[in-house]
Chains A and B, each alone.
Chain A
Amino acid sequence: MTNELITASAADLAARLAAREISSAELTQACLDRTAAVDGVVHSYLHVDAEGALAAARAIDERRAAGESLPTLAGVPIAVKDVMTTKGLPTTCGSKILEGWIPPYDSTVVTRLKAAGMPILGKTNLDEFAMGSSTEHSAYGPSRNPWDLDRIPGGSGGGSSSVIASFQAPLATGTDTGGSIRQPAAVTGTVGTKPTYGGVSRYGLVALASSLDQAGPCARTVLDTALLHEVMAGHDPMDSTSIDAPVPAVVEAARRADVSGMKIGIIRELTGDGFQAGVQQRFDEAVQHLVDAGAEVVEVSCPSFTYALAAYYLILPSEASSNLAKFDAMRYGMRVAPQGIDDPSAEQVMAATRDAGFGDEVKRRIILGTYALSSGYYDAYYGSAQKVRRLIADDFTRSFEAADVLVSPTAPTTAFAFGDKIDDPMAMYLNDIATIPANLAGVPGMSLPSGLAPEDGLPVGFQILAPAMQDQRLYAVGAALEARLLSAWGAPLLHSAPDLTAAGKGA
């Protein structure tokens, strides 16, 4: 009974909840039981709120019993990335510096989840302040990839990807600054979307890089991702950069799953050299599936993408260095007294706290950003990076004249092993080479599984990119591909993942 509930899709669960075949309380309890069984080894969660989730589930059950008409996903539980504020629940951003902080307010995304009647199971792990591609930079220890516990679940949103891939939750929220939704989805065989910049409110999302950050949905199917996307998205007057326009019809597109007549653009710069053979192979097969479904394939060139990584690693640290300045021990979070100073000044307390509270990767980027913004260097670094950003946006504009969507592998490789890139930040940064351009240009992107790489049996991600505010195209293409792959595989990819309860018992 339990297994069947936790592996079902959110769309299926929503239908059964609406038909009163199951209750939200039993579904939520099934998720919590699964967490009790497997999260000891997977470590997706930084905080589980069993009591709060069950109370919310019972409340929804009561409302449904009273005959109230409820939103589609009412009663379907969800896990929230620990970078979004939750009133009354800890929000650490994976950092020691925020240990024990209980936000007094909900992020807009969380407000919308609550309004949609979705019980919040807990807060998922991430690289500290979302800086990383592996969760190895979480101050609370890494999450593990359900496909291979010695490998990374992607980052920064490795908690959210692994929580879905290990069937602890049908849905999770993510945030994507340079690939933090898409790359974890790719390496765990799940689906994730970074919406158009401004499509989902950033209010209450602890900022990494304000001009790049975008919250989005994580799920196991394209339709589930669309259903959650619809709940999260929409204009928010609390976020000036939020787009005041109707949410693209993502659910409708996912249900129609129609690519006939669409032009699919393969990005020349994001294939071939530098991509693992099995990754490239599964990508090519996926493209063939789309052609079989009636799409036309064209090749496009985005020459400025070569400079995307360099620009990204100037813009992100610059904005981050300023965004993270507020963590100063004065008002909330950690406070450390400097050693050997009798009567420390506020500035000395700030320095000691930031020294103790931030991890190495965060410090690395703060230093980088502080340097890049310094007078005398600003034009050469931040200024040039902004120019590259415009060129990348131009590349997209030109490519979208030739194609309706662009496609590439989501990441150059399958999941790497823990420790592989911890001492080589450049290698880790390169993992985001295919995902970063979308953030720099503000366009939407999705990753969905395209199979397992023959050489290592690990999931491969297929990335779809669309023009700004055309998020529905991701879902049309994603759902069409998913349907073909599913009939080819005979069962969802995740059904072939290892049995974690056995691993849990062994651990």
Chain B
Amino acid sequence: MSQATAEATLPFEEALAAYDPVLGLEVHVELGTNTKMFCGCATAFGAEPNSQVCPVCLGLPGALPVVNEKGVESAIRIGLALNCEIASWCRFARKNYFYPDMPKNFQTSQYDEPIAFNGHLDVELADGSTYRVEIERAHMEEDTGKSLHVGGSTGRIHGATHSLVDYNRAGIPLIEIVTKPMTGAGERAPEIAKAYVATLRDLLKALAVSDVKMEQGSMRCDVNLSLMPKDSTTFGIRSETKNVNSLRSVERAVRYEIGRHAAILSSGGKVTQETRHWHEDTGITTAGREKSDAEDYRYFPEPDLVPVAPSTEMVEALRATLPEPPAARRKRLQSAWGYSDLEMRDVVNAGLVDLIDETVTAGATPAGARKWWSGEIARRANDAGSDVPTYAASLAVTPAHVVELESLVTGGRLNDAMARQVWDGVLAGEGTPTAVADARGLELVQDTGALQAAVDKVIAANPDVAQKVRDGKVQAAGALIGQVMKEMKGQADAAAARQLILDTLVG
């Protein structure tokens, strides 16, 4: 648990009345290459500590890096998808600082020659409007190892008796994507931040360059925020909130920092330029390392690597591999699925586009796919603090289940109410829809003998209603249908029951 106490914050509306937020986001993405950025070591997540290492990524004396071509290709594809210019010649640089989880005590990164620069990403907001996020750069670098601080109560280095370092992550390819400062966002700043990260995540997923799992750290977000008085155009002092690793947290962190900065500024104080730690549990940030201009990474071009100089042909060949942009894809799918704007927006906001696409491709109707993925399961996912795709994956519930469920309905085995029961069973882990239906004995009664007996019984018990029907008041049959269904314990097709009642009474 975090021991930190919250600082004073100004209510959001009050803060926005006096100040304009300036937002910047730095997103680190671990590439899904099979091998590390500068050596041949495997990159599998969750391997035994220090089992995926070699002289190069351990920084042993004498070892030298060799650039992973796939990593460069991924970087260029990301740059192109972000509408960036691609450098025709650029170098890696060494970022020098001492830290135990950095084997060489420098990080091989890029400095003033990023592989991609000057791009943009259009972000759709909940109200249907679009905000353009300008991209300053996307550059290649290597990840560091991971320290585990043992013996303290917080898991942080403070109070720990010793630390363990796992170098499996050291050297995994990273792309750092940096936005230009975003101005004019106003009260929409938290929403824009979240939407940007979500859009970027979808884009990277569509590019198949990363598994973009924020919860596993393969996509990590730093939020830079400053405020300037409403009438000013000079940026204020910023804070850098590190490792804000869920979409919801990105929104919350921006909101919190706006309130915190505003409280400091409105009381005449000065914001400290520093990194901040984000606390997921309490939704606050606390002070980290103070940043000063004296912090000096002594960057210089990495002499152990040759420059990266992608040819125009190579860049164009990679451009040809880009998938359909998510926004264009959404428009195409909306039209193919026949969803209303509102329906589509709900589906997008719930992160269901891919799941529905897969489900429709697997054979379900668009309406059915939307219905089953946005009903009960969405409620449950929300209760679990998750989103539907993640939650469904955790339950091992797949598009095939939805297709099967729908075919049970269209095939006449289940009615809608029964299908809902079956879905509940599937979500409870009872098996496939057919298995759940079998186990729960759910099946529309097709045996007209049993149905006829129920109809006869209900007519006998309700002579008055039956007479009305005979007299031509066909809508009165509704009362009888309900009782027949009750008699059949729900396992009858209501339409069949109605027909049989009319046949019996009217002929």
Which residues of A are in contact with B by a Cβ distance under 8 Å?
Answer: 84-85, 91, 93, 98, 101, 103-105, 107, 202-207, 209-211, 237-241, 318-319, 321-322, 325-328, 330-332, 346-347, 350, 370, 373-375, 378, 382
Contacts and interface: CB of A to CB of B under 8 A. Distances in A.
> Which of B62, B65, B96, B296 gathers most chain A CB within 10 Å?
B62
A322 B298 CA distance: 9
Contact of A373 (B62, B96, B100, B304): B96
B64 A203 contact: yes
A332 B60 contact: yes
Interface stretch (B103-111, B241-249, B317-325, B363-371): B103-111
Nearest to B59: A326
Nearest to A318: B300
Contacts of B304: 207, 210, 240-241
B58 interface: yes
11 contacts: A203-B64, A207-B304, A321-B96, A322-B96, A322-B300, A325-B98, A326-B105, A327-B61, A328-B100, A332-B61, A346-B163
Contacts of A85: 60-62
Contacts of B296: 374-375
B103 to A, nearest CB: 7
Given A328-B98, A374-B296, A375-B296, A203 B62 contact: yes
Contacts of A240: 64-67, 304-306
Contacts of B67: 240
B303 A104 contact: no
Contact of B61 (A103, A239, A321, A350): A103
Contacts of B100: 328, 330, 346
Given A239-B64, A240-B304, 16 more contacts: A85-B60, A91-B61, A91-B62, A205-B62, A206-B61, A210-B304, A239-B66, A240-B65, A240-B67, A319-B303, A325-B98, A325-B104, A331-B59, A347-B98, A373-B298, A374-B298
A207 B94 CA distance: 15
B55 interface: yes
Given A202-B64, A211-B303, A325-B105, A331 B58 contact: yes
B63 interface: yes
Interface string B292-324: 000010111001111000000000000000000
Contacts of B59: 326, 331
A209 B304 CA distance: 10
B298 A375 contact: yes
Nearest to A343: B161
A104 B61 CA distance: 11
Nearest to B67: A240
Contacts of A107: 62
> What are the nearest 6 A-B pairs in CB distance?
A325-B105, A373-B298, A210-B303, A211-B303, A204-B62, A206-B61
Nearest to B66: A240
Determine chain B's interface SS by DSSP, over half rule. loop
A346 B99 CA distance: 8
Nearest to B55: A105
Contacts of B61: 85, 91, 93, 98, 101, 103, 206-207, 326-327, 332
Interface in B82-111: 94, 96, 98, 100, 103-106
Contacts of B63: 105, 203-204
A165 to B, nearest CB: 27
Contacts of A328: 98, 100, 105
A181 B242 CA distance: 49
A321 B103 CA distance: 15
A326 B108 CA distance: 13
B70 to A, nearest CB: 16
A322 B97 CA distance: 9
A311 to B, nearest CB: 14
Contacts of A237: 66
Contacts of B300: 318-319, 322, 373, 378, 382
Nearest to A327: B61
Contacts of A239: 64, 66
Contacts of B64: 202-203, 238-240
Nearest to B296: A375
Contacts of A330: 100, 165
B60 A104 contact: yes
Contacts of A205: 62
Given A105-B55, A241-B306, A347-B98, A326 B62 contact: no
Nearest to A333: B61
Given A322-B300, A373-B96, A375-B296, A84 B62 contact: yes
Nearest to A375: B296
B102 to A, nearest CB: 9
Nearest to B302: A210
A195 B106 CA distance: 29
A103 B105 contact: no
A373 B93 CA distance: 12
A22 to B, nearest CB: 34
A349 to B, nearest CB: 9
- Interface centre among A91, A98, A375, by most chain B C-beta atoms within 10 angstroms, is A375
A93 B60 CA distance: 13
A207 B66 contact: no
A321 B94 CA distance: 11
A148 to B, nearest CB: 34
Nearest to B147: A346
A205 B62 CA distance: 5
Nearest to A242: B64
Name the residue among B60, B61, B165 with the largest chain A CB count within 10 angstroms.
Answer: B61
Contacts of A98: 61
Nearest to B97: A325
B103 A207 contact: no
Contacts of A91: 61-62
Contacts of B55: 103-105
A449 to B, nearest CB: 31
Contacts of A202: 64
A370 B298 contact: yes
B104 to A, nearest CB: 5
Q: Which of A107, A203, A237, A321 has the most chain B CB within a 10 Å cutoff?
A: A203
By CB atoms of chain B within 10 A, which of A205, A240, A332, A375 has the most? Answer: A240
B54 to A, nearest CB: 8
Interface string B439-466: 0000000000000000000000000000
A455 B381 CA distance: 92
Contacts of A101: 61
Nearest to A383: B300
Contacts of B60: 85, 103-105, 331-332
A326 B305 CA distance: 18
Nearest to B38: A240
B387 to A, nearest CB: 39
* Most chain B beta-carbon contacts within 10 A, residue among A205, A241, A325, A374: A325
A332 B63 CA distance: 14
Given A104-B55, A241-B304, A319-B303, A325 B106 contact: yes
Nearest to B92: A240
Interface string B102-133: 01111000000000000000000000000000
Contacts of A326: 59, 61, 103-105
Contacts of A373: 96, 298-300
Contacts of A350: 98
B303 A206 contact: no
B92 to A, nearest CB: 10
Nearest to A209: B303
A23 to B, nearest CB: 33
A351 to B, nearest CB: 9
Contacts of B66: 237-240
Contacts of B163: 346
A356 B350 CA distance: 59
B62 A206 contact: yes
A183 B306 CA distance: 29
Nearest to B98: A350
Contacts of B96: 321-322, 325, 373
Nearest to A315: B303
